[in-house]
Structure 1
Amino acid sequence: MKVSVISNALGLVLSAFGVILFSPVIVAVFESEYSAILPFITAATISISIGMFLRWYGGFSKNFDTVKKTEGLFIVTLAWCLTGIMGGIPYLFFGLSPLDALFESVSGTTTTGATILTDFSLYPKTFFFWRSLTQWLGGMGIIVLFVAILPQFAVAGRQMFIAEAPGPTEEKVTPRIAHTAKALWLVYLVLTILEIIALSLSGMDVFDAFCNTFSTMAAGGFSPNPLSIMGYNNPAATWIITAFMILAGSNFALQYRFIIRRKISVLLKNEEFRLYCSIIGIASLILAIILFFNTHSSFSSSVRDGLFQVTSIITTTGFSSVDFALWIIPAQVILFTMMLAGGCAGSAGGGVKIVRLLVCFKYLKKEIVKIIHPNAVVQIKLDRNTVSEDVQRQILVFFLFYLCLMTLSAILVTMLEHNGLIGLVGTAATIGNIGPGFGEIGPMGTFGNLSSPTKIIFIVNMLVGRLELIPFLAMLHPDFWHFRK
């Protein structure tokens, strides 16, 4: 790997991120929260300064056309780590410890939505605006944003684009990767504007509409209300957020093709989208029935809360319209199952991804057929396209490493916290970028009371889960660590 290329790329990312760090200052001035200006000016200055230093160290090179795959993986991994650190600097000014500030920042940029906050009344609106904005930036992908807006990455951005969203298939809606990034961000931006308008019309305060929209479209879950969406007691807003969560968990490239072609068949012919909608529909119906017969909720409330919570968990948003930690065990089991699914590939959602589950089911079916017919040649097809053996192998390796990481993390956290529920559910919630779990880390709970080692493990889980394990798998090989000037 070439040090100058890595240094220059990271320098550009940090400089651009530093400019974004100035944006909460506008909110601070508008809300007359002048004491909240210094934290963001300081963080922005630090980020830009480090970015310029890295660019100077790399010789201010503008040639990124020869970025290799290993360099792309390394740049993306470091970019997420460094932006997480830079994004946490403002939190230090509001009384958070360095570890808690890093946890809250990484939880935001990775769109996890797990919070260490215990008393929301201690913080100004600017603080909550930044929390939600970090999620919105991380939802589509920080690198995808900079590939779209920075001309230096117009060609070389392909390797970084793929490294940031290493799904089973490469999503390309236009011939040039920079144009693809712009197209995806255009869909993302339009949906964001539409939701802000819809929530405002539903009676939600404009500031809250902005913050909740940022978190919804990012499938993040941070809300300025300590009781999440339940705190607004607004059924119309709940339905609106449900609809946009479904869109946030859907493939944005698929949505772009639907908008361009204006044919519903674009969606209906996509196997992943059909399975995604089927899971939401079936799980929501079962959950609604359980709630109706086991709680004092009306049928309409059971349907609304069932659909909302299933959508919230499967898309890894993590919002709550009710404290589901108080639900009976069968209802919680359904939500935990949704944690293990995730959204569609190419969406803002985290988790395993529906397309991987789909390929795995087809792989199992193929193996069953081959047991009966050993000489049969059985191909796995997805949307009528054959899935290569390499992709099949990568998906199986992904699941194996995901399972190993979940097991190791759950065991360590259980030993540290002396609580198996926190170990298992906390691991699933952080590695899947979901956010809340059950018990004391439930939707009305906090991760703030956990031990420091547990928080560090969960920070790693959030980063690994957001990058979908591939960059970290590559880093386990000794040949990855070869540098040259």
Structure 2
Amino acid sequence: MHYRVILRILGILLMVFSLSMLPPVGVSMFYEDGHSFIFVAAFVITLATGFLIWLPVYRVREDLRTRDGFLVTVLFWTVLGLFGAIPLVLSESPHLSIVDAVFESLSGLTTTGATVMTGIDTLPESILYYRQQLQWFGGMGIIVLAVAILPMLGIGGMQLYRAETPGPVKDSKLTPRITETAKALWYIYLSLTIACAVGYWLAGMTPFDAIGHSFSTVAIGGFSTHDASIGYFDSPAIEMICTFFMTVSAINFGLHFFAWRQRTFRHYFEDPEVKFYLGILFVTILFALFVLVITATYPPVEALRKAVFMVVSVATTTGFGTADFAHWPVMLPFLLFVAAFAGGCAGSTGGGMKVIRILLILKQGYREIQRLVHPNAVIPVKLGNKPISDRVLQAVWGFFSVYLLVFVVMLIALLGTGLDQVTAWSAVGATLNNLGPGLGDVSAHYGGLNDTAKWILCFAMLLGRLEVFTLLVLFTPAFWKR
């Protein structure tokens, strides 16, 4: 393990992250909300800490190994979550405890969207902007940016890319060099954000709300500048724009890259994962619409509007709201919540287990049924026309097993803190899948939970963002052996 180069990288990234404290200073000065000093103080603390970590090892020039990449990635998210909480601790509005501030910061950076705050409409504009910005950086910006700049600093970035990029097939690169890959993803991410912000503005949002919501939409985050979320605007046009960008942002960004380079959209409809992902959304929307209509929860047109938005929001793990789906009739809350376990596509900003894993598990299960009928047949599992190796299938099943095991362990831990079963089950699912809103006592916010439960859920958010194995591998003895 190259601890000196790890410290050097961590110091550099912390100094880069300190720059994210400066835009809220400008917002605070523009709106005169009196919080500029808080962000200046947070900037100085973060920058000084990063500099002190970097200074003793700034001359170190070594390449990262795979194990180093895992450790840097975990430290990166953990340390940024802690330092991202500084403005929330220093602020008097809201004045959060340390655990609440860390929870809110990690929720933003991991794009979970679970909040401990109430009265969001009355918060200072700089705090509101900062929360949205955290999600935008967390969605893809920080790691992609870091991967892009590390080679310029004499540090190889491929190990970070492999450790961070979600999905079972991680080694495929869009361009020959990892730096170019990172830049391509960054430009696409930025372009989608700008397009989304312009769309919101044209649909009637103020520039402040349009920028803030575009950050959390493209990041699949779910934070809003209003307690009522997207429902605050009560605008079909805004909801349609939001639905479109949530759907697009939950698709593999590699496909967006090819669409941009080849000037074609045909490959979207030829990709097995995208077809399965859109199929899940379509079937779930139809079922939700059917239940809402036959139970007379809403008039038919209103039911269609609510069903489309909420299914896309929950299934993509965004977490925006125009209705309280937790109180929808019969099995709908449970159905929507389960859809979030599939989440977005691999290589997207969405959470969950990723659609491609669910698809491969179903294909593998169907193959086992076929083998019962034809025990000696050689039956490959294919995505499109490409056979999938048994090594990938084993990895998918391993991930699925560990994911469920982690879910059960954390559920038991939450129940041990005194939460009821519905609240505990949904809270673990919402944080592990990076969804945000849950059921029971966490359908609106997480502020009423005890501190122990909040720390457990912070760990769940990190597990979900780092796709379980990246974090759990640090707890194995083999990882630390020479």
| TM exceeding 0.5 | yes
Q: CA deviation at 1:85?
A: 0.7
Shift of 1:4: 1.1
Q: Is the 8 A contact 1:199 1:237 kept in 2?
A: yes
Aligned to 1:216: 217
2:81 paired with 1:84: yes
Residue by residue, what CA displacement relative to the aligned partner does 1:63-112 show, whole Å, maximum 9, x if unpaired?
A: 35x21110000000000000101110000122110000000000000000
Equivalent in the alignment of 2:69:
72
After TM superposition, list the pairs within 5 Å mapping 1:70-469 onto structure 2.
Answer: 70-94=67-91, 95-152=95-152, 156-170=156-170, 171-442=172-443, 445-469=444-468
Structure 1 pair 418–83 and aligned structure 2 pair: CA distance change class (3 A): closer
Alpha carbons 1:314, 1:342 under 8 Å: kept: yes
Kindly tell me: are residues 68 and 10 of structure 1, through their superposed partners in 2, closer, same or farther at Cα, counting changes over 3 Å? same
Q: Following the alignment from structure 1 to structure 2, what is the Cα–Cα distance between the partners of residues 112 and 417?
A: 23
Q: Which whole-Å CA distance do the structure 1 matches of 2:30 and 2:59 have between them? A: 37
Task: Identify if the C-alpha distance between structure 1 residues 121 and 189 changes in structure 2 by more than 3 Å, giving closer, same or farther.
Answer: closer
Given that residues 343 and 354 in structure 2 are in contact (C-alpha distance below 8 angstroms), is that contact kept between their aligned partners in structure 1? yes
CA–CA separation in structure 1 for the residues paired with 2:449 and 2:174: 43
Deviates more, 1:8-17 or 1:364-373: 364-373
Q: How far apart in 2 are the matches of 1:19 and 1:372?
A: 61
Question: Aligned partners of 1:208 and 1:126: how far apart in 2?
Answer: 12
Structure 1: distance between partners of 2:412 and 2:322? 31
Q: How far, CA to CA, are the matches of 1:430 and 1:466 in structure 2?
A: 9
Q: In 1, distance between residues paired with 2:151 and 2:20? A: 17
Equivalent residues of 1:413, 1:422 under 8 A apart = no
Cα distance, 1:210 vs. partner? 0.9
Please report how far the alpha carbon of residue 138 of structure 1 lies from its aligned counterpart in structure 2 after TM superposition: 0.6
* Structure 2 segments unaligned to the other structure (5+ residues): none
**SS of equivalent residue, structure 1 residue 91:** helix
Q: C-alpha distance in 1, partners of 2:353/2:130?
A: 27
CA distance in 1, matches of 2:43, 2:424: 36
Instruction: Report deviation, 1:162.
Output: 1.1
Mapped contact 2:351–2:434 kept (Cα < 8 A): yes
TM-score by length of 1: 0.96
The residue type paired with residue 177 of structure 1 is: I
Structure 2-normalised TM-score?
0.96
Cα pair 2:297 2:303 within 8 Å, conserved: no
SS in 1 for 2:232: helix
Cα deviation for residue 418 of structure 1 reads 3.5
- Match of 1:242, SS state, is helix
- Find the aligned partners of 2:315 and 2:45 in 1 and give their Cα distance: 37
Distance 1:254 1:232, change over 3 A: same
- Please state how far the C-alpha of 1:304 moved relative to its aligned partner: 1.6
Contact 1:317 1:435 (C-alpha < 8 Å) held by counterparts: yes
Q: CA deviation at 1:303?
A: 1.3
Distance 1:371 1:328 in 2: 40
RMSD: 1.5
Tell me how many residue pairs correspond in the alignment: 478
> In structure 1, what is the Cα distance between the partners aligned to 2:308 and 2:461?
25
- What letter corresponds to residue 229 of structure 2 in structure 1? S
Could you say what secondary structure the match of 2:43 adopts? helix
Check whether the contact 2:243–2:313 (CA below 8 A) recurs between aligned residues: yes
1:29 is matched with: 29
Following superposition, the deviation at residue 372 of structure 1 comes to: 2.0
Residue 54 of structure 2: aligned partner: 55
Q: What code does the residue aligned with 1:459 have?
A: C
Residues 369-393 of structure 1, C-alpha deviations (whole Å, 9 max, x = no match): 2222222222222232222222111
Matched, 1:478 2:477: yes
Per-residue CA distance 1:14-64 (angstroms, 9 max, x = gap)? 01001122121111111112x211221122112211211221232433x35
Q: Which runs of 4+ in 1 moved over 3 A?
A: 149-155
How many Å separate the matches in 1 of 2:251 and 2:54? Answer: 37
Conserved? CA contact 2:121–2:226, under 8 Å: no
